[in-house]
Amino acid sequence: MANTSPNPTQEQLRFLYDKLLSLLINETSLISERTNIFLVFNTILFAAFVILKAQVTPQTNWTLAGNLTISVSGLIFCLLFHYLIRAAIRAAKIWRGLLNKIEGENVFWDGITNPAEFRIFPTNNAREPLPTKILGKYLPLIMAVLWGMALIWTIFGRS
């Protein structure tokens, strides 16, 4: 009777692959949740800023202090978001790289008839995906520029 059970290395590789895949899925959901919180928080701050700047008359030192506080808070939150998202993106790249290494092992593919259907990522994914670039680099930069403009408007736009 032939032993048809997978050898320990194949079993270990598949177990590790499943765990790494769940870590990668967790990182992408964290990125999505953090981005939603970032956008909601910025929307609320921008609404408060605009209400203080445009609706409250006359502009007093209290409204100036409120707008300065809101603008600086928005800038700080953009920096915090940038660092949190970049850390999550780095972790996701590590998990993705380890998954690709496991897929590169010949033992991993024993018993799988069509590897192309099984692969999660293409083998030539050296470039960062566009949504990751948008979330990690451009979104915080755009929001920080908007907060910087709001700060300048607060300081120099007193009426």
Q: What's the pLDDT tens digit per position in 88-126?
A: 888 888 888 888 888 777 666 676 666 665 655 555 554
Burial of 107 by CB count in 10 Å (0-12 exposed, 13-18 middle, 19+ buried)? middle
Residue 20: inside a domain: no
> How many structural domains compose the chain?
1
Residue 147: inside a domain: yes
Predicted pLDDT of residue 1: 46
Residue 13: inside a domain: no
Which domain, by its residues, includes 142? 33-156
Beta-carbon count within 10 A of 64 CB: 15
Residue 21: inside a domain: no
Q: What is the pTM of this model?
A: 0.75
Predicted confidence pLDDT, tens digits, the chain (159 residues): 455 555 557 778 888 888 888 888 888 888 888 889 999 999 999 999 999 888 887 888 888 899 999 999 999 999 999 999 888 888 888 888 888 888 777 666 676 666 665 655 555 554 556 676 677 778 899 999 999 999 998 888 765
Residue 7: inside a domain: no
Residue 27: inside a domain: no
- Type of residue found at 70: I
Predicted pLDDT of residue 78: 94
Predicted pLDDT of residue 7: 55
Residue 127: inside a domain: yes
Structure tokens at 63: 């409204």
Helix, coil or strand: residue 88: helix
Residue 45: inside a domain: yes
